[in-house]
Every structure is written in structure tokens, then in C-alpha cells.
Amino acid sequence: MKPYNSILLLITLALLTACGKPSEYELKIEKIRAEKDTYMKDSPSSPFNAKGKVEFHPLNYFPVDSSFVFKSKLYEFAEKDTITIYGTKGEPRTAVKYGYLKINHDGKLYEIKVYEGHYTGGKYYSIWFTDKTTNEDTYGVGRYVDFELKNDPDYEYTLDFNLAYNPYCAYSSDYSCAIPTKEDYIDIAIQVGEKKFQD
């Protein structure tokens, strides 16, 4: 074995020993990321292919951190106000302030808004946010987390910021995406999930 290869092997073994074996949760997140890269690269519906070809390279992420996984019930607003938000191309949109989740991070409580939107034939629910990483390590418009509403007022939701992702406008200017409002700012550095896309 060449000396260089021996040194490289020793370094690799040392890193594996120091880091330990990845947890089942970490492996799950890494699998989700790998599957998303495959979709983004190969699917004709992805933002890299659907509206003109955009050069693809693997998406960027923070390391997985399970301390950014939270549990909360959904607290519905008594009055569900319809508000105007704007897309990145400047167009007005409407969204309903449906409710919020409560999370406790480092002993401080935060409310994470959940919005209801409408499309032909149905409704969808979204969480979008900005935080202290926005426009630094993460996309300047903000990031999203998927939310699936359950027909159970006592249901405990899992809010996993490791699954926070960029909207399609982060990859191509052919797309417009909802801009989080000032109320959607979370005053912590959420250093998990997707980072800026480097084209």
C-alpha cells in the first residue's frame, strides 16, 4: 500500500471512530436527501428541467441535528384571517392564517405559523419562515417545511427543521414563490435543513 493511501485510510478510520456510527434518524434524512437529488436531476418536472434546463449539482445541506425536531399540537386561530402575501415576481397572493405550532428552543417558546392555501379542487397547508441564517447560509427569500393537516384536534405534529427546503425560485428565476412575512421570522439560527444553492 502506498504511504499516501495508508495515511488516508488512517484519517478515515479516525474520523469514523470520532463521529461514531450514524443513527437510524441520520440515515433516514440522508436517504431522503439522496432521493431528492435524484428527482431534481432526472425528473422532467423538477425546476432544473421543467422550464428550461438549469445546470444541476447536488443540493447543499447543514449536518443533521435531531435537536431541531419538535413536537406540538396545532393551535387554530379563532378568526382565520385572509391575508395578502407576495410572490418573488411581485404578484399578490392570498393565504389564510390557519394556526400555529409551539416549539421550545433553549428554554424559549416560539410560535410557527401554519397557512392555508387554495388550488383548483382543494386546499394545502404550508409553513414558511426566515431565521438568523437567512441570506447568509440559507436562501435569501426563506425556506419551507411541508405540513399535512390531520382531522384530529389532539394530534401531535412533528416539526422537523432538518427537512426545511428551498422553494423552486431558489434554483430558477422562471419560478415565483411565496415570500414569508415579518411574522414568519424565527429569532434563532436554524442551522439545519437546506442551505443556499450554489449555481
Instruction: Name the DSSP class of 63.
Output: P
Q: pLDDT for 32-75, tens place per residue?
A: 999 999 999 999 999 999 998 999 999 999 999 999 999 999 99
Looking at per-residue pLDDT, the higher value among 144 and 16 belongs to 144
> So what's the pLDDT on residue 79?
95
Q: Would you say residue 199 has pLDDT above 80?
A: no
Q: Which of 74, 72, 152, 175 shows the shortest CA–CA distance to 115? A: 74
Percent above pLDDT 70 for the chain: 89
Rounded to the nearest 5 percent, the helix, strand and coil shares of the chain are: 25, 35, 45
Q: pLDDT for 145-173, tens place per residue?
A: 999 999 999 999 999 999 999 999 999 99
Q: How far apart are CA 180 and CA 95, in angstroms?
A: 11
Q: Where are the beta strands (DSSP E) in the chain?
A: 69-72, 74-76, 82-86, 92-105, 108-119, 122-129, 143-147, 157-160
Q: Would you say residue 11 has pLDDT above 90?
A: no
> So what's the pLDDT on residue 10?
42
Looking at per-residue pLDDT, the higher value among 19 and 10 belongs to 19
Question: pLDDT band for position 19 (50/70/90)?
Answer: low
Percent above pLDDT 90 for the chain: 84
> So what's the pLDDT on residue 2?
42
Question: pLDDT band for position 17 (50/70/90)?
Answer: very low
Name the average pLDDT for the chain: 90
Q: Would you say residue 187 has pLDDT above 70?
A: yes
Name the 3-class secondary structure at 153: coil
> So what's the pLDDT on residue 182?
95
Cell of 63: 449536518
